[in-house]
């Protein structure tokens, strides 16, 4: 990184509190954010895991805080109707802020509620777009219960329109939560397969943030640190799920990666991942894990030096120094593949390595080869490819998907090389 003459903007106005008992800070945080009566949003899974009991216990002992206004019926594929219902509860109960306790879906839903209760109106779709939400929104705190989406740190919310099932995308610095609490106890009960998939999601955020067009020196730094933490921690946390130290590191890494991509945006891996997920209902983290090495290979020629630098954090300094400069970019791709393979092994095959290996309950691949052209065509309408360093076309997206589906290497000759450095 030399001094950047080019313009950049870095926004991350949120307060991050992290620790093994960070949740104990919640009452103080709610007071400082002036949200003594939060609407607490969560999903049934979080409730079942007993995580809400912890939040309840902490808030119960606070006389000045009303901590029993809940909305706990957020489904995994939340939509605008759910948001309208939650907004209704917020208004009826006279809440003064929002507290999200959950994974990406809960936090994104809460962001949607935040828009509605702050700006009024009935239809969330009226506010969709980039940078359009400019007003100060009601305060929001987030307690993530997975380490992957990083949604507690981002300016993005993606919400399904209940009317036509299309995804509505919102990006605005105003959407970044006011505070995030990363507590290692929140992710302790996550099963290994989900830990692996969400961890690879965070890795994909960091890698794409580091190589995307919107990158800047601060997002670079966040991304590199995130990758270093993920690589050194993810296998450990799968082998020893109750290692609290490792759980906390993963939470912090995912948070860093979220903040990085919130500023630089993502690229082709997410473009394809969103569309595979939407068409076939495959979990986002798994799509990311499978597609990441292919997306990297696709972009490799556009910023070889940057991909080379990734080897240093992916494989450690000694491997980096031993590898000749021209081999480092490919080394970085191989390191990501090796990490995915290791996760595959550690989870006894539950973490898949090819798209065709994701099976439904009857043992058949969820995604079929005939899905490929449809998904590629969907992908051209996904805004994230705008920020990908290389241009994408339908043919190329099909090639990448085919390779990721069958698990063979991506033929670089099929990628038309762009000219701009």
Partner 1 sequence: MVKAGNWRTRLYLSIMFRVTGRAIQAAGRRDPELREIFAALPPGFSFRLSVWPDGPELNIETDSSTLPRYGGSKGASDPSLHMEITSPAHAMALFTFAESTTMSAARGRLVTRGDLSHACTMVRVLDRVETYLLPRPIARRAVKRYESPQKKHRMRLAVWLGIIFSRGGSRS
Partner 2 sequence: MNNSLRYSFSFHPGPSLFSGYHALAQLPYELHRRGIRRPAVLYRKDREGERLVKGIRNLSFGSQCTPVYASYQEPPPEYDGVIVLGSHGDPPGSFHGAPMFLILTDFQTCREVSRNAEGIFPEAVFLDPSYYAPFNTEHTAATAVIALTLLLESLQDDRMNPLSFSWTYSGIDHIIGSADCLKTLEGRHGVANAAVSAGITASNTGFGAVSTLAEALAVSGFADRAETCYALLPYVLDKLASQEGMEQLNQFIEHPVTRLQQLLEQLSQLGGLGTQKQQIITLAGCTRSIADSPQSEEIMQFLSILQGVTP
Positions touching partner 2 (CB under 8 A) are: 1-22, 25, 131, 134-136, 173, 216-218, 220-222, 224-226, 228-229, 232-233, 236, 245-246, 248-249, 252-253, 256, 312-313, 316-317, 321
Phi-psi region of 50 (alpha: psi -120 to 50; beta: other; left: phi over 0): left
> Of these partners, partner 2, partner 1, none, which one is at the site of residue 221 (CB under 5 to 8 Å by kind)?
partner 2
Residues that bind partner 1 (CB under 8 A): 7-9, 128-132, 166, 168-169, 171, 212-214, 264-265, 380-383, 385-387, 389-391, 416-420
Considering the complex, what minimum distance in angstroms separates the CB of residue 50 from partner 1? Answer: 38
- 21 or 360, CB closer to partner 2? 21
- 54 or 226, CB closer to partner 2? 226
- 359 or 374, CB closer to partner 1? 374
- 70 or 320, CB closer to partner 2? 320
- 9 or 364, CB closer to partner 1? 9
Considering the complex, what minimum distance in angstroms separates the CB of residue 401 from partner 2? Answer: 34
Which of 399, 8, 13 shows the shortest CA–CA distance to 213?
Answer: 8
CA distance 140 to 233: 29
- 41 or 226, CB closer to partner 2? 226
Considering the complex, what minimum distance in angstroms separates the CB of residue 229 from partner 2? Answer: 6
> Of these partners, partner 2, partner 1, none, which one is at the site of residue 383 (CB under 5 to 8 Å by kind)?
partner 1
Considering the complex, what minimum distance in angstroms separates the CB of residue 417 from partner 1? Answer: 8
Largest Cα span, the chain: 66
From residue 268, how far is each of 32, 295, 352 by CA, in Å? 40, 6, 20
Number of Cβ atoms within 10 Å of the Cβ of 296: 26
From residue 62, how far is each of 15, 67, 318, 326 by CA, in Å? 22, 8, 52, 60
Angle between helices 192-211 and 304-315 (to 10 degrees): 150
> Of these partners, partner 2, partner 1, none, which one is at the site of residue 419 (CB under 5 to 8 Å by kind)?
partner 1
Which of 177, 141, 156, 168 shows the shortest CA–CA distance to 80?
Answer: 168
The encoded tokens of residue 167 equal 């995804």
DSSP string, 363-383: SSBSS-TTHHHHHHHHHTT-G
> Of these partners, partner 1, partner 2, none, which one is at the site of residue 317 (CB under 5 to 8 Å by kind)?
partner 2
> Of these partners, partner 2, partner 1, none, which one is at the site of residue 84 (CB under 5 to 8 Å by kind)?
none
> Of these partners, partner 1, partner 2, none, which one is at the site of residue 373 (CB under 5 to 8 Å by kind)?
none
- 22 or 268, CB closer to partner 2? 22
Considering the complex, what minimum distance in angstroms separates the CB of residue 208 from partner 1? Answer: 12
Phi-psi region of 9 (alpha: psi -120 to 50; beta: other; left: phi over 0): beta
Which of 201, 156, 391 shows the shortest CA–CA distance to 292?
Answer: 201
- 82 or 275, CB closer to partner 1? 275
From residue 306, how far is each of 216, 253, 418 by CA, in Å? 13, 20, 17
Considering the complex, what minimum distance in angstroms separates the CB of residue 219 from partner 1? Answer: 11
């Amino acid at each position: 990184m030399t001094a950047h003459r080019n313009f950049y903007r870095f926004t991350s106005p949120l307060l991050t509190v992290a620790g093994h008992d960070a949740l104990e800070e919640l009452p103080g945080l709610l007071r400082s954010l002036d949200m003594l009566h939060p609407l607490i949003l969560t999903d049934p899974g979080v409730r079942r895991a007993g995580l809400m009991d912890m939040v309840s216990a902490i808030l119960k002992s606070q006389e000045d805080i009303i901590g029993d206004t809940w909305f706990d019926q957020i489904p995994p594929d939340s939509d605008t109707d759910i948001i309208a219902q939650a907004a209704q509860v917020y208004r009826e109960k006279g809440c003064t802020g929002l507290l999200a306790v959950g994974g990406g879906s809960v936090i994104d839903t809460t962001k949607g509620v935040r828009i509605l209760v702050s700006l009024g109106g009935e239809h969330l779709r009226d506010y969709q777009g980039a940078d359009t939400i400019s007003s100060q929104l009601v305060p929001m705190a987030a307690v993530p219960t997975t380490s992957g989406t990083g949604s507690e740190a981002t300016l993005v919310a993606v919400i399904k329109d209940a009317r036509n099932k299309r995804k509505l995308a919102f990006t605005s610095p105003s959407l970044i939560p006011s505070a995030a609490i990363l507590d290692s106890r929140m992710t302790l009960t996550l099963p290994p397969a989900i830990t692996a998939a969400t961890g690879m999601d965070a890795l994909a955020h960091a890698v794409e943030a580091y190589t995307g067009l919107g990158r800047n020196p601060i997002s670079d730094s966040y991304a590199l640190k995130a990758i270093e933490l993920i690589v050194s921690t993810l296998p450990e946390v799968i082998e020893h799920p109750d290692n609290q130290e490792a759980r906390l590191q993963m939470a912090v890494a995912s948070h860093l990666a979220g903040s990085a991509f919130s500023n630089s945006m993502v690229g082709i891996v997410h473009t394809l991942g969103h569309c595979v997920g939407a068409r076939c209902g495959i979990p986002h983290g798994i799509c990311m894990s499978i597609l990441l090495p292919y997306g990297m290979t696709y972009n490799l020629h556009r910023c070889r030096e940057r991909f080379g630098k990734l080897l240093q954090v992916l494989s450690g300094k000694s491997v980096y120094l031993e590898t000749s400069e021209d081999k480092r970019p490919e080394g970085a791709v191989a390191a990501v593949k090796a990490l995915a393979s290791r996760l595959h092994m550690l989870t006894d095959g539950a973490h898949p390595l090819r798209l065709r290996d994701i099976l439904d309950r009857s043992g058949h691949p969820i995604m079929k080869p005939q899905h490929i052209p449809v998904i590629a065509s969907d992908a051209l309408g996904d805004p994230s490819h705008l920020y990908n360093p290389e241009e994408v076309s339908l043919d190329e997206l099909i090639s990448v998907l085919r390779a990721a589906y069958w698990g063979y290497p991506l033929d670089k000759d099929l990628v038309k090389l762009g000219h701009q450095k």
